[in-house]
Amino acid sequence: MHEPKPVHQPRRTPARRPRVVLFDVFETLLELNALRSRFVDVGRPEHELELFFARTLRDGMALTLAGGSPPFAEVARSALIGATDRRLSEAAVQHVLAGFNELPPHPDVEPALIMLAKAKVPAYAFTHGSAEVVRDALDRVQLRSYLRGILSAEEISSFKPPAVVYHWACERVGTEPARTALVAAHSWDVHGAIRAGLLAGFATRLEGGMSDIFDAPHVVAEHLDDVIERLLALPA
């Protein structure tokens, strides 16, 4: 009988001031609660939003692990149909999904982006969603000018959190992982970044705290602007 191989524990990147910051988008920059009214519009209870988004992430991750994910919109459409008991017309499905183009920002986002701009630290949006949808949403709320670009893992047919996704993002922005920070309101995303050798900042406003099953982030605060302030205060 073969002994199981020990799990490889990657070396943790020391806490240092980042040269580039990558922001997760959905629930970190843009607020998904705005989709609740669209569920009501099509005759569904608003609480189905959580089930829908959880299934979207689950299915995208599963497809990625199995060998490549289709675009976010396809995964989200399938998850929405399933989460609503397959009772939505195609027009209703499209009405709900169109809300991704009109998501508002969380109130702590612009102060965080201004802080990075003043510190001359480049910031990027980093999503497994559509770059076009994220671009439209950020343009609508006049935040895209703070960002150097939008990175979508759709380009490599993947969802986060495999290490290859974070390494791809670092290559795209021209920095080494150890000097690149991932900032997110999702603990699993933060964990993935740490395991990939990045710095990580966690905003607890969505989950309330970090689960003890995940690696601890380098910086933790409730709000995004406080996360950025603490990242910038790390030693160079």
Whether residue 6 is predicted with pLDDT greater than 80 in this model: the reply is no
DSSP code at position 114: H
Kindly report the number of other CB atoms within 10 A of residue 121's CB atom: 17
Record: fold of 20-31+103-232:
Rossmann fold (3.40.50)
Specify the residue for token string 């201004």.
114
Average pLDDT for 225-231 = 98
Q: Give the phi and the psi of residue 14 in degrees, each rounded to 5.
A: -60, 150
Whether residue 47 is predicted with pLDDT greater than 60 in this model: the reply is yes
Specify the residue for token string 């960002």.
147
Rounded to the nearest integer, the mean pLDDT of the chain is 95
How far apart (Å, rounded) are the C-alpha atoms in residues 169 and 236?
Answer: 22
- Give the sign of the dihedral formed by CA 154, CA 57, CA 129, CA 209: negative
Answer yes or no: are the C-beta atoms of 60 and 69 closer than 8 Å: yes
**Would you kindly state where each structural domain of the chain is located, as residue ranges?**
20-31+103-232, 32-101
- Give the sign of the dihedral formed by CA 32, CA 33, CA 37, CA 42: positive
Q: Identify the CA nearest to 17 among candidates 120, 98, 111.
A: 120
Six token digits for residue 111: 């102060």
CATH class of 32-101: mainly alpha
- For 159-186, b/e burial (b = at least 16 CB within 10 A) is bbbbbebbbbbbeebebebebbbbbbbb
Segment 24-39, tens digit of pLDDT:
999 999 999 999 999 9
- For 4-33, b/e burial (b = at least 16 CB within 10 A) is eeeeeeeeebeeeebbbbbbbbbbbbbbbe
Segment 91-146, tens digit of pLDDT:
999 999 999 999 999 999 999 999 999 999 999 999 999 999 999 999 999 999 99
| Confidence class for position 223, pLDDT limits 50, 70, 90 | very high
